[in-house]
Amino acid sequence: MSLLHLFLACLFAVILACAQFAASHQESGDSHCDPDDEARISAQFRPGIVTLDGHADDWADVDGFEFPLRPALDPDEDKEYKAGKMTVKALHDGTDVFFMLQVDGDYVYSKGDDHKCPSVALMFQVGESATYHDMGGCKESPDTCNSTSCRGFEVDIMHFSIGNSIPGRLYGGNSISGEGKGDGIALVDMYSWNPHCRNFDGSGTSGNDSIALNNWKGAWWHSSFSIHSGFIEDDSPYGSSGQKGTYYFEFSRPLRTMDRLQQDAQFTIGQASKFSAAFWYPTDGNPWHGSAHYTVSCDWVPMDVTPGFSTQGKVASSSWDAASGFALILSFVAFCVSIFVGHLVSKRKSVPFTPIDRL
Ligand SMILES: *[C@@H]1O[C@H](CO)[C@@H](O)[C@H](O)[C@H]1NC(C)=O
Ligand SMILES: *[C@@H]1O[C@H](CO)[C@@H](O)[C@H](O)[C@H]1NC(C)=O
């Protein structure tokens, strides 16, 4: 009887604890976020291995990180993008930084309609106070946000919409004339203080800046395409709808830009930056809308820009190489010594034996 009481008391305590946990989970609501502590990418110094063409073959030897894609506004595991994870890889060549984003998805493409094609964005912290949440997180409204009232909350955004872009062709890198988009091409360089205070680089409430450039260049591809070169616009839609495969989005940007207005992230070799990546996908043929995107984490993800000749990230293989190289040298030295000793011994033999007592 008393055992049953004890059991019931325990059961009750467990139920109470569960209820409390559930309540506290609910309370935290929207701001609840459990970022993966392991999530991190490394842009190593790997000059001359990738070509900016949207193809991923040349990235095969570069390690990336696989991120689950969850809705930015509701990062719930149940609502994860089902077709696969997003692999993000990065490297630099001392001048430019390169990114490869790979994400599985059936081929969908509607020429001219960006919202009926997949789309990706990268976001970087610029100002030290800028949060991942709310794209900088400045509390000002669209009427009051400006470079003074939101100082320190700047984030840098690159957005690539592919509805007017031919796979395998290079876009971006344009100078900015007022509207930000060069020739209606949707690889844009933006900055923001919050989702409602977003501008193209070089424009905004603080006026136009003639130095501003779209510093990003990029290309895209889908693994279902059968030819590896030379699509033109008339080939659209480039492949058959619904084909299984992987989308590739490849980008580059100079480590440093001419920005004078806190609109671009500046990358420093040997230092970490904070980034995020977003993905839009037109599910069931329905166009996506701006806020309905997936992101790689519910907070900033660190990105290391590592110096050249660093062993970081490749420790295992490079120390193995060094060890085996050393072993090889050592065995070669041992081999030489043995030949020398052998030679010495055989030479000694040819010297006539001289008894000591004769000396
Ligand atoms: C920025 O906004 C603040 C607050 O709305 C305003 O007082 C200030 O004059 C604005 N500054 C500029 C440069 O527009
Ligand atoms: C910036 O340039 C665009 C196009 O040249 C012009 O329409 C706009 O009024 C300019 N904005 C400012 C604040 O000068």
For a ligand 2 pocket test, name from 176, 200, 203 the mutation site with the most ligand atoms within 8 angstroms of its C-beta. Answer: 203
Give the pLDDT confidence of 28-72 residue by residue, as tens digits: 345 577 889 899 999 999 999 999 999 999 999 999 999 999 999
Element (H, E) at 10: helix 2-28
105 Cβ neighbours under 8 A, 6+ residues apart: 83, 84, 118, 245, 246, 247, 281
The CA distance from 156 to 275, in Å, is: 9
User: Is 141 near ligand 1, meaning CB less than 6 Å away?
Assistant: no
The secondary structure of residue 172, as a DSSP letter, is: E
Q: What's the whole-model pTM score?
A: 0.77
Please give the distance, rounded to the nearest whole angstrom, from the Cα atom of residue 210 to the centre of ligand 2: 11
Q: Kindly report the protein residue whose alpha carbon is nearest to atom 7 of ligand 2.
A: 178
Instruction: Give the separation between CA 228 and CA 204, rounded to whole angstroms.
Output: 40
**Residue bearing the CA closest to ligand 1, atom 5:** 144
Ligand 1 close to Cβ of residue 236 (< 6 A): no
Is there an atom of ligand 1 within 6 Å of 261 CB? no
In the chain, where are the structural domains located?
A: 32-305, 315-349
Question: Nearest ligand, CA of residue 207?
Answer: 2
Query: What is the pLDDT confidence band of residue 346, given thresholds at 50, 70 and 90?
Result: low
**Ligand in nearest proximity to the CA of 146:** 1
What is the dotted CATH code of the domain comprising 32-305?
A: 2.60.40.1190
Q: Is 148 in the pocket of ligand 1 (CB under 6 A)?
A: yes
Asked whether the CA dihedral 91, 97, 98, 101 is positive or negative, the reply is positive
Q: Which ligand is nearest to the CA of 144?
A: 1
Average pLDDT over residues 347-358: 56
**208 in ligand 2 pocket by Cβ < 6 Å?**
yes
Contacts of 249 (CB under 8 A, 6+ apart): 54, 99, 100, 101, 102, 120, 160, 218, 219, 220
Query: How many CB atoms are closer than 10 A to CB 15?
Result: 10
Mean pLDDT value across the chain? 82
Distance 138 CA to ligand 2 centre (A): 24
- 177 Cβ closer than 6 Å to some ligand 1 atom: no
Return the percentage of the chain with pLDDT > 90, whole number: 58
Average pLDDT value for residue range 66-93: 94
179 CB-near residues (< 8 Å, 6+ apart): 200, 203
Q: In DSSP terms, which residues pair with 101 in a beta bridge? A: 88, 249
How many residues are present in the chain?
Answer: 359
- In 261-314, which ranges are continuous DSSP H helix? none
> Are the C-beta atoms of residues 319 and 325 closer than 8 Å to each other?
no
For ligand 2, is residue 338 a contact (CB within 6 Å)?
A: no
**Closest by CA position to 41, among listed 86, 87, 84, 89:** 89
Q: Which of 3-12, 70-79, 115-124 has the lowest mean pLDDT?
A: 3-12
Whether pLDDT at 155 is above 80: yes
Residue 41 Cα to ligand 1 midpoint, Å, equals: 37
CB 332 within 8 A of CB 339: no
pLDDT tens across 212-237, in order? 778 999 999 999 998 766 899 999 99
* Confidence category of residue 185, pLDDT binned at 50, 70, 90: low
Which ligand has an atom closest to residue 210 CA? 2
Output the residue whose Cα is nearest ligand 2's atom 2: 178
Q: Identify the pLDDT of residue 329.
A: 63
